[in-house]
Structure 1
Amino acid sequence: MPLRSKPGDPATLLHADDGTPLARLRLRDGDGTLLAEHVQPVPGADLAQVAAQARHDLAGRRLTTRVDALARALVDGGLRLRRAATDMRHDLTALPPLPALPAGWSLRAGGWDDDLAAGLAAAYGPEHPDGPWQDGDTAQIKAVFGHGDPVPPLAGACARVAGADGRSAGHVLCAGPVPWTEDECAWILNLGVAPRAQGLGLGRALLVHAMHGSRAAGLPRLGLEVADSNPARRLYDSVGFQVRTRVLSVDLPPHG
């Protein structure tokens, strides 16, 4: 049975061949990658059946789910877990003060430039938990700043950090509210510091800036997603982010 959507409901329903509903999900085109996001089996659904139907009806898409047992059923069926991450939130009620920057460093308005592109390409090397920086990553950030795709930047929560030479060495890109969360919150789309500027507390300064900017915009929470084994997790814990849920992703093979 084909996937179905109801008028006014952003979710899509995955059905068994006999018409039995199996799971809710959201379909999206993520800059060339077809996505089946937030796959949530309906109560009582057989997870092996959900996995098999997803492989058939969602073939060629990247599936994300917060249900460990569904991801395990897909892996047990021969697929590979692409990414395991933690969804975190800060309630923005008690914020750390904005830290002083080292001499010669300053925060500037958010934006994108060639120095940032080179710095993040160096920061996201082959061993990074999210893999190396790709041209598509740059394209996605340019799309946010250029024409608000998929969401416009939250200007007061975005920033670049630059040295005495004026060259950008890191940034935080924040948007909000965002449509992919069930709660109203701002969201950190990207936070990174070039290797030449790491170890100076600049990442913390950018993060705390985003927290203050999100609260100033009237948003009650700030969210982010951090991959397993990413050392940035320690930074998020240190400023009071709390674990909300796990997010697992699996690439479903195309037909044939």
Structure 2
Amino acid sequence: MYGHRDYVAAMPVRPHPEDPAGSLLHADDGTPLARMRLHDDDGQRVAADVRPLPGVALTTVAAQARHDLAGLRLETPHDGLAEALVAGGLELRRAATDMRHDLTELPAPPALPTGWTLAAPGWDDDLAQACDAAYGPDHPDGRWAADDTRQIRAMFDTDDPVPPLRTASARVVGPDGRSAGHVLCAGPVPWTEDVCGWILNIAVAPHAQGNGLGRALLVHALHGTRKAGLPTLGLSVVDRNPARRLYDDTGFRTHRRVLSVLLPGSPEHTGTD
């Protein structure tokens, strides 16, 4: 049970009066401090797009968030707020850029090397090995994990948490008939404020890199998203990921920065009722 006195009297998180999908974080005296969106991401409660209101001290927002959003992952485009949380002893878990492509002008699909083809999306052991090799110990996003494989299998097997956007997804298959990479898209996705397709994963095994296969997969995703009738395609690229150059070259543009911090403690009441 949540403490009655704390949350009936203070109600730190309330609906945003002008944004049906948004919420406001308040100080204990009722002063609004920051706007945000609350949602779930594969079982993790997230306070997304946290933006301090003008004139509010960042240290005040950071302290209130630590108290009233404990246990949540906080995502903010605001460097100063992230710095205030880190200065308070927390760890910056991820620094990334959300990008969008408006799908109005698309590059032509590039020719694939002899023997290479794009095949229907799916998941197999060869693809699992390719992703494991692509996400090595020095990759900015970290090593490929068994949970990554579990999540992708769940998408294809049970549409959990979202089904693949099949027109925009594909595997790349080598002359030996084995999967060597893929692009996996979903859409429209529930975790963005705009209607868009989303690249969940794009990877090419190291032995197949240098053949333009990553670009071919990316261009396929662009054309497939437009074919599905979605207005934009989005992705998130972590800082220092060399793939950023490919995204820039194919017409993706910066949408916003996303700095992620896990707030310690047990989840507090963040309902807006």
- Does the alignment pair 1:221 with 2:223? no
Q: CA deviation at 1:242?
A: 1.1
Q: Deviations over 1:143-174 (max 9, x none)?
A: 32233333222110000011122211111111
Instruction: Give 1:150's aligned residue.
Output: 161
Number of equivalent positions: 255
Aligned counterpart, 2:146 = 135
* Counterpart Cα distance in 1 of 2:84 and 2:261: 11
Secondary structure at the aligned position of 1:53 is classed as helix
Of 241, 246, 256, 1:230 maps to: 241
Give deviations 1:11-70, integer Å, cap 9, x for gaps.
Answer: 343221122232233334433444322222234333211111111122222211111221
Which of the numbers 71, 89, 94 marks the counterpart of 2:105? 94
* Alpha-carbon separation, structure 2, partners of 1:181 and 1:107: 28
User: Could you say which residue in structure 1 is the equivalent of 2:87?
Assistant: 76
CA–CA distance in structure 2, aligned partners of residues 180 and 31 of structure 1 = 11
Would you say 1:200 and 2:211 are equivalent positions?
yes
Partners of 1:11 and 1:2 in 2: CA distance: 15
C-alpha distance in structure 1 between counterparts of 2:14 and 2:129, whole Å: 42
Tell me which structure has the larger Cα radius of gyration: 2
Residues of 2 paired with 1:231 and 1:152: CA distance?
A: 28
Aligned-partner SS, 1:155: coil
Taking structure 1 as reference, are residues 160 and 3 closer, same or farther at Cα in structure 2, changes over 3 Å only? farther
- Superposed displacement of residue 3, structure 1: 4.9
Equivalent residue letter for 1:93: T
Give 1:194 shift.
1.2
> Which aligned pairs between 1:43-122 and structure 2 lie closer than 5 A?
43-122=54-133
Task: Kindly indicate whether the alpha-carbon contact (under 8 Å) linking 1:31 and 1:140 is maintained by their aligned counterparts in 2.
Answer: no
Matched, 1:19 2:27: no
Distance 1:47 1:203 in 2: 40
Any conservation in 1 of the 2:110–2:216 contact (CA below 8 Å)? yes
Any unmatched runs of 5+ in structure 2? 1-9, 267-273
CA drift of 1:236 comes to 0.6
Does the 8 Å contact 1:116/1:169 carry over to 2? yes
Q: How many Å separate the matches in 1 of 2:109 and 2:250?
A: 11
Q: Aligned match of 1:42 in 31, 36, 53?
A: 53
Match of 1:239 in 2: 250
Structure 2 residue identity aligned to 1:48: T
How far is the alpha carbon of 1:74 from its aligned partner? Answer: 0.8
Shift of 1:247: 0.9
The AA in structure 2 aligned to 1:252 is L
Tell me how far 1:10 sits from its aligned partner.
3.5
Hey, what's the Cα distance between the residues in 1 that align with 2:109 and 2:204?
A: 17
Distance in 2 separating the partners of 1:235 and 1:216: 22
Structure 1 residue 160 corresponds to structure 2 residue 171:
yes
Residues 28/184 of structure 1: CA separation in 2 closer, same or farther (3 Å cut): closer
Q: TM-score, normalised to structure 1's length?
A: 0.91
Worse-superposed segment, 7-16 or 156-165? 7-16
Q: State the AA in 1 paired with 2:213.
A: L
Question: Following TM superposition, by how much is the alpha carbon of 1:6 offset from its aligned partner in structure 2, in angstroms?
Answer: 4.2
Partner Cα distance (1:82, 1:247) in 2: 11
Shift of 1:197: 1.2
Instruction: Give, in whole Å, the separation in 2 of the partners of 1:19 and 1:51.
Output: 16
Corresponding letter in the other structure for 2:92: L
Residues 40, 146 of structure 1: CA spacing in aligned structure 2 closer, same or farther, 3 A cutoff?
farther
Distance 1:144 1:199 in 2: 29
Rounded to whole Å, the distance in 2 between the matches of 1:254 and 1:135 is 26
